[in-house]
Amino acid sequence: MDRIALLIAGLVLAPSEPLLAGEASAAASPMGAPLPVIHCTDLLHPYDDPDDHFDLATLCAMRGIDLKAVILDQGQLQADRPGTVPVSQLNRITGRDVPAAIGLGEKLRGPEDKALDQPRQFQSGVELILATLRQSPVPVAITAVGSMRDVTAAFNREPELFRTKVAKLMVFIGEASEPKFVEHNVSLDPQAYVGLMRSGLPIYWVPCFDGGPWKNQGHASFWQARHEDLLKDARPEVLQYFIYALEKEKSEPVAFLSAPVDPGRKRRLLDGTRNLWCTAVFEWLVAPEAAKGVFGFAEANITIGEDAVVRYGQTQSSRKVMRFEVRDPARYAAQMTDATQRLFACLGESK
């Protein structure tokens, strides 16, 4: 754990957004300092969905954050399909040494499960989350794009640590309005989702879909973009990173970055299209004004049942979360694509 640097960091908060529990102390942090972030992801190589490679690259490109740790979800899959491969590549591209740890291997048995009985080789993810929170002098943001398993288990082990040291928890999971549709990330670990949404933490909830699969009726982040639009100004080593991921390359990963870009492989890369949920949304953590009125968050009262279905309305058991909303549907996809393209153009420039 000696690789986790202690660094003064802070949040740039949007004046129009209300503070949730745990954010008051974060608001007092030095303005303009990098925001410490823990990223939890079901990143694999070879991939299940390469959007995870795009997400991590975006976080590495953002100058306003200090990426403290990457937690690799789906621990049982990581031995044969290690997410450490893209992490090592991005560390080389950025000149950083961000630590990565393998997460829990099995689903939580209930919303309050601490997962202490899971095998030792799958405990390092939860332990890295807790160690990072303990060692940070200021509150930390957590971004989670997979099952939520490690975040929920870590919270269940040390809830007070989370309440004092988690500034914002931005989670990309779930369905905003269709109770019959079980979104993929929810299916990975329904009880982890239930436990997290009941936690009372400062959750910024970004549903993956709204109205069923591949639909966005206004409260989901889903959009599509052409690779050529996303990567037209990316550096050669960044193109190599994406080629390596998308073509499921097996050669030495770091050395591959410095090899000349093959024209045919570049053309195949740029001809592709990507489903996206995160990337430019991450910018909101440090620069809410970057949304430019296209998206934002609004308070919602939610209750989540044992069936992992979110229901709206204020009740005795409801919790307040900040729910994602598209505020300008006509500009949303283009604006998100342009913002992501600008970030990828910067990736690796200050190595």
Per-residue pLDDT tens over the stretch 167-220:
999 999 999 999 999 999 999 999 999 999 999 999 999 999 999 999 999 999
Q: What's this model's pTM, rounded to 2 decimal places?
A: 0.91
Dump pLDDT digits (tens) for 220-241.
999 999 999 999 999 999 999 9
- Residue reference for tokens 């409801």: 318
For the four alpha carbons of 14, 18, 21 and 25, in that order, the dihedral sign comes to: positive
pLDDT at site 290: 86
Looking at every residue in the chain, the average pLDDT score rounds to: 91
- Region 93-116: mean pLDDT is 98
Kindly tell me if the per-residue pLDDT of 2 is higher than 80: no
- Region 106-128: mean pLDDT is 98
259: confidence class by pLDDT, cuts 50, 70, 90: very high
- Region 328-335: mean pLDDT is 97
Strands 319-326 and 295-304: antiparallel
pLDDT at site 22: 36
Dump pLDDT digits (tens) for 67-96.
999 999 999 999 999 999 999 999 999 999
Q: Which CATH superfamily is domain 24-346 in?
A: Ribonucleoside hydrolase-like (3.90.245.10)
Kindly tell me if the per-residue pLDDT of 21 is higher than 90: no
SS3 240: helix
pLDDT at site 8: 22
Beta bridge partners of 223: 276
CA atoms of 41 and 60, how far apart (whole Å): 14
If we measure between CA atoms, which residue out of 129, 131, 165, 171 comes closest to residue 23? Answer: 165
- Sequence-ordered strand ranges (E) for the chain: 35-41, 65-72, 100-102, 140-144, 166-172, 203-206, 223-226, 273-276, 295-304, 310-312, 319-326
pLDDT at site 31: 58
Q: Cα Rg for the chain, rounded, in angstroms?
A: 19
18: confidence class by pLDDT, cuts 50, 70, 90: very low
CA atoms of 108 and 117, how far apart (whole Å): 11
- Report yes or no: 270 and 231 within 8 Å, Cβ to Cβ: yes
Dump pLDDT digits (tens) for 271-285.
999 999 999 999 999
CA atoms of 20 and 120, how far apart (whole Å): 35
- Report yes or no: 208 and 278 within 8 Å, Cβ to Cβ: no
- Region 133-148: mean pLDDT is 97
- Residue reference for tokens 């990337």: 279
- Region 317-338: mean pLDDT is 97
